[in-house]
Amino acid sequence: MPLVAHSLLPSFDRLRQQGQEILTLDHAIHQDIRELHIGFLNMMPDSALTVTEQQFMRLVGSCNQIAQFYVHPFSIDGLSRSSQMRSYIDQYYEPFEKLKEEGLDALVLTGANVANPRLEAEPFWKPLQEIIHWAAENTTSILCSCLATHALLQQLYSINRQPLPGKKWGVYSHRVIQQQHPIMRDINTRFDVPHSRYNTVSRAQLEAGGLTILVESKDGGVHMVVSPDQFRLIFMQGHPEYDFNSLLKEYKREVLRFIEGEIDVYPPHPENYFPEEAAVIADEYQRIVQASRKAGTAIPPFPEATLERYVDNTWGDTGKAIFNNWLGLVYQLTAVDRKRAFAPGIDPENPLGLR
């Protein structure tokens, strides 16, 4: 079922232009269909805020449950923002206090850029604790992405992320470890997921904390984990929300940083992402950049449009299927009044009835 354009958030129009089905609020309120209200805590930096917003909204809107999906974006004070982006958030995002009063069925948490080696020194640390404390008691399930995963694992399970020798960056093949889990229902047993991170939490750390690993990669590491009750908290280290060209744009940013002298080493390709044709073009551009810098001549523009013709999305359908399964469970387990009150016969400590 479609997303409901319940506010003037520009992403509704952008998604509609991209082919996403979006209901007007007037149409929605005249349908006799149950609503699901999904909070979306967006902590991404200015350059990625609206793109990430649209990526996650697209995953929610692709769900085939018989429900209307209201996505409620909000953010945290204290994050570094331009005046333009602060105005955008003030105009289109909702205050957390309002969401607490009205209630949410589920919550999605994005990653964030960090400037400190210790997460507890970040400006989002204390506000995030307040949000999680409320959401744990008042929503059915919380889904965390990337940095939010690391922050909550530290806050709730004392699991500290570990720095990697180098950036984990690319598209990696994963396998489903717990095929019987409802979130993995009808999911391919092997599928790709993009990763982009400098830190990780290991299988040993997660298992010692009592969490259940759902999806793992030999090269990419653990991707999906659930809390001991199997559903309240869902953690992802990868990025199923990424567009086909998200890693390409990230690669371009790193190349431009090298050109501007912000980094000393030319960035490698994202692993397992460029096919042979794209790799040849990227390598030729690297040769031109390095030769031009040495000769002091002008550097031509980055060949983004040419490279886009060769890169693929090999993870999107699986990401949509996982979100569909997750929101289907939220739909089944959430009471109509959108409080964490389960139907008779459902054990709140094991809502999925897993043994």
Kindly list the catalytic residues: 146, 239, 241
Instruction: Give CA angle at 125 (205, 333), nearest 5°.
Output: 70
Q: Which residues, including other chains, have CB under 8 Å from residue 64's CB and lie 6 or more apart?
A: 1, 324
Between the alpha carbon of residue 48 and those of residues 44, 51, 54, 304, 323, the distances in Å are 6, 5, 10, 18, 21
Count of other CB atoms within 10 angstroms of residue 240: 25
Q: Which helix (H) or strand (E) holds 216?
A: strand 212-217
- The DSSP code for 182 is G
**Cα separation of 210 and 225, whole Å?**
10
At residue 305, what are phi and psi to the nearest 5 degrees? -65, -35
Torsion sign over Cα 126, 128, 130, 215: negative
Positive or negative torsion for Cα 173, 175, 181, 185:
positive
Shortest CA distance to 324 belongs to which of 64, 15, 35? 64
